[in-house]
A and B are shown apart, each in its own frame.
Chain A
Amino acid sequence: MRSIFKRNKKKSSSKDRQEDSQGQSKQPINASLSANLDVIKQKTGNSSDIVFRTLKMGRHSEIKAAVVYVKGMVDSQAIHDFLIESMMNNRDLHEKLIREKTMAVITEEVVAFGGIKPVSGLDELLSSLMSGETAILVDGISEALIASTRAGDKRSIQEPTTQLAIRGSKESFIESSETNIAMVRRIINNPNLWVESMKLGKVTKTDVSIMYVNGIAKDEIIKEVRQRLKKINLDGILESGYIEQLIEDQTMTTFPTLYHTERPDVVAGNLLEGRVAIFVNGTPFVLLAPAVFIQFFQSVDDYYARFDIATAIRFLRIFTFFISILGPAVYIAATTFHQEMIPTGLLIIVAAQRESVPFPAFVEAVIMEIIFEILREAGVRMPKAIGSTISIVGALVIGQAAVQAGIVSPAMVIIVSITAIANFATPSVAIAISARLIRFLFMVSAATFGFYGIILALIVLTVHLCSLRSFGIPYMSPLAPFIPTNAGDTIVRKPWWMFKERPRLMAAGNNVRSGENQQPQPPEDREIKMNAGKGERNES
């Protein structure tokens, strides 16, 4: 495993070197220590959080050396114990160092650190310094050592906040991508889990890593992900959302074509299906590519619960998605255009309610929907202490008072509430938000052409969804194009012993998922054994 890491690091550092050499002429490290320190100070604008610890080492303390690091980003305890201490105390170093004039001596005999590498360029030194590594400079040697002392404060691993599950791991990702990668590795203990790293963002130099299971993920998709990431040329990558918007296939759509998650078990499950994960340092949200429509209706619980329960819940989710899109639109169409389609008893009730309302159904619905959206937006950003105010204001003022004042009809309040709750029942926020937007289009088409408008809008929506692709994979697969062996994990969820194949469009070569005869087969002679047990007890 370590070798994989090392190799990838080498790759990324060589890439950096190339980029730097393209950007500006490469400045070598000077032989004089004080000159080097001056240059670093000058280049970093004398920033106060950069620590220059000068020391002398060797038998007669003749060799001047310096340890440079950024406060707060390094493990200062380790620097003290394994770098400074051993450098100052190692008294036999002097002659060798004078004789050979290389850093190799220090690497071999002084530094008790795992990750260490020599650098010769100043820019490389600076970029390592800024990412939390420690530089060791020695007077008279035109080379520096970089020790990987990255540490610093990070949030502890907590329970997920956006993707809750009743059953399953309680871990969620944190902001450090190193920790996140390790969390996935803890689940998939396999040397075929490969990681590639790169730095993106001209100014921020953010660590971005892609992870996949070699032999399961398709080479074309990995290559495509790599290419699209390399094309990114932005000053800063602050969140995986930046990357999502820069590498998606289709920008003119409200539907997400990449999946983001904060659960390591979701990432692991998707890697096993042949997807590629993209980790971005600084955010707990990991991207998964390619994404398909039905994926946004899958929750980890589905796979942990038994298949009949999971299937029933999948049905419910898809039903609620339709409600959250169509709810108000159908109400508008039925009350404005197609009253004859409402059963008479219900029609009388609705008509009696609407009698006192001064607005047409469409206006009423739009007002209520917009008020609800305002409530929701306010609720998201409200400090917790005053959060309950919103619900009181929302429930009492909007619900009760507006109806009593005759501004909206009670039926409309019911419709809007059902729509809102149905919207929350979608497991993925990304697709719930697009449903929120599309709902308004459906309301407009219902208000202008009734059910005809709704049906046309539905057809356009279907065509649009079918035309989307995510990294070349049709967005509606495996439903359209219909792939029978993979359709068992869409609207229905097959029992695990029937999952024979990975998604065909995504997984390469190694497509077989489970062995033969996975169906549980309890021994047929169980009853006999129980009788035998009874018999024994009787005898004793």
Chain B
Amino acid sequence: MEKAKISAYQLFVLIVLFELGSALLLPLAIEAKQDAWLAILIGMAGGCCLFFIYYGLYHYYPDILPTEYTQKIIGKFLGRILSFLYILYFMYLAARVLRDFGEMLLIFAYSETPLFVTNSLLIIVIIYTVRKGIEVLARTGELLFVFIGLLAVSGFLLITLSGVIQVTNLQPVLENGMLPVVKTAITQTLYIPFGEIIVFAMIIPYLNRPEKLKRTGLYALGVSGFSLALVMAMNISVLGVSLTARSQFPLLSTIQTIQVEQFLERLDVYFMLTLVIGGFFKIAVFSYAAVTGAANLFNVKEPSRLVYPIGVVILLISMIIASSFSEHIEEGVKVIPLYVHLPFQIIIPTLLLFAAYLKNRNKNLN
């Protein structure tokens, strides 16, 4: 663990930027059709429950990283293996987001550029950032958060001024009842993006005022959930359900409809700013978690040295993870949530929390 402290506000900003990261750009929860926003909100509620699991674990071991307390809960050997798996999990997720990001950039603007180039550029920036430590990452977040906020407000204004919002597209609400909505929430939005907050288990020990964690985390989840729901509702109300579902990047299509006075139009740069800044934060947080976890697990004195190899490995994983973008998306929707996210985000933490509870109860009895 590096000697660093972040404030509650910084944690809030990091969580929001992380949650919005790539989820803002994708057709999130579109299986729920016009009720996608509702599915997102349900997913958010589930995310809050998951947050309480991680919070519970933090509560038992507030000063040490998960890579350390797993060893205390289930023993040195098993704990180390589990921690190692988690580090791999974070690296894999970083690679997934990086791949998402690179493919989006290629489709959207740089069709002639090789994927490897766009990805390696971003990973270089991330290596530079992660090497500076969590404090710098958090401070950068504070500045860019304001920037993204300004972008969002001006974007909303422009879309409203363009007069393309048709609220009728959102109706009828709950056409097929609650079931499809809940199903979408449980199979998708719960894991991406809300369950991914598990990565913050590696970051919350740096919080300078632990008593503020619960409120900060819930606020951050709430803000990001409502923003995502709002953006998705806006996408659907502008584009309609079928176009949103077919579009690879509904937000981009929405932004492209902006047309104010024949002058303010084609503001694709809005999308690109959101894409790059969001992707940057998401990958940076995952990489940071992987680096600090690995340094802690293997007792590396200078964590900043691990940044280079881990960055390169993330870059390589992002290249070999799938042979095409559709394969990548297919994996992300069908395989990953069930076989990777479910155990890593829900099952293992719940079991750990239970074990920790038993262990600490015994301690108290003695």
Known contacts A337-B109, A463-B136; decide if A452 and B142 are in contact (CB<8 Å).
Answer: no
Known contacts A455-B273, A459-B277, A463-B136; decide if A341 and B268 are in contact (CB<8 Å).
Answer: yes
Is the CB of A58 closer than 8 A to any CB of chain B?
no
Is the CB of B88 closer than 8 A to any CB of chain A?
no
Q: Mark A337-357, 1 if CB is under 8 A from B, else 0.
A: 110110100000000000000
Of the candidate stretches B120-128, B155-163, B232-240, B290-298, the one touching chain A is B120-128
Give the docked Cα–Cα distance between A466 and B132 (Å).
Answer: 10
Is the CB of A278 closer than 8 A to any CB of chain B?
no
Q: Mark A472-488, 1 if CB is under 8 A from B, else 0.
A: 00101001111000000
Interface size (A, Cβ < 8 Å)? 24
Q: Mark B262-293, 1 if CB is under 8 A from A, else 0.
A: 11011111001100110010000000000000
Contact between chains at B268 and A338 (CB < 8 Å): yes
Q: Mark B19-62, 1 if CB is under 8 A from A, else 0.
A: 00000000000000000000000000000000000000000000
Is the CB of B7 closer than 8 A to any CB of chain A?
yes
Is the CB of B110 closer than 8 A to any CB of chain A?
yes
Contact between chains at A338 and B143 (CB < 8 Å): no
Is the CB of A451 closer than 8 A to any CB of chain B?
yes
Interfacial chain A residues near B272, Cβ < 8 Å? 451-452, 455
Is the CB of B129 closer than 8 A to any CB of chain A?
yes
Contact between chains at A479 and B142 (CB < 8 Å): yes
Show 24 A/B contacts (Cβ-Cβ < 8 Å), sorted by A. Answer: A337-B109, A338-B269, A341-B268, A341-B269, A343-B266, A449-B113, A451-B272, A452-B109, A452-B276, A453-B121, A455-B272, A456-B122, A459-B276, A463-B125, A463-B136, A463-B137, A476-B139, A479-B142, A480-B142, A480-B143, A481-B7, A481-B139, A482-B9, A482-B142
Is the CB of A404 closer than 8 A to any CB of chain B?
no
Is the CB of A467 closer than 8 A to any CB of chain B?
yes
Q: Mark B129-166, 1 if CB is under 8 A from A, else 0.
A: 10010001111101110000000000000000000000
Q: Which of A341, A450, A453, A480 contacts B140 (CB 8 A)?
A: A480
Known contacts A452-B276, A455-B277, A456-B125; decide if A462 and B109 are in contact (CB<8 Å).
Answer: no
Is the CB of A460 closer than 8 A to any CB of chain B?
yes
Known contacts A343-B263, A459-B276; decide if A451 and B269 are in contact (CB<8 Å).
Answer: yes
Interfacial chain B residues near A451, Cβ < 8 Å? 109, 269, 272
Q: How many B residues touch the partner, as a band? A: 20 to 34
Contact between chains at B109 and A338 (CB < 8 Å): yes
Chain A interface SS verdict (over half): helix
Is the CB of B10 closer than 8 A to any CB of chain A?
yes
Is the CB of B319 closer than 8 A to any CB of chain A?
no
Name A's B-contacting residues (CB within 8 A): 337-338, 340-341, 343, 449-453, 455-456, 459-460, 462-463, 466-467, 474, 476, 479-482
Q: How far is the CB of A23 from chain B (nearest CB, A)?
A: 40
Name B's A-contacting residues (CB within 8 A): 7, 9-10, 105, 109-110, 113, 118, 121-122, 125, 128-129, 132, 136-140, 142-144, 262-263, 265-269, 272-273, 276-277, 280
Q: How far is the CB of B340 from chain A (nearest CB, A)?
A: 29
Cβ-closest chain A residue relative to B266: A341
Give the top 7 A-B pairs by smallest Cβ distance, nearest first.
Answer: A480-B139, A466-B139, A480-B142, A467-B136, A455-B276, A467-B132, A466-B140
Contact between chains at B266 and A340 (CB < 8 Å): yes
Interfacial chain A residues near B276, Cβ < 8 Å? 452, 455-456, 459
Give the docked Cα–Cα distance between A467 and B139 (Å).
Answer: 8
Contact between chains at A452 and B277 (CB < 8 Å): no
Kindly name the residue among A338, A340, A459, A479 whose own CB sees the greatest number of chain B CB atoms within 10 A.
A459
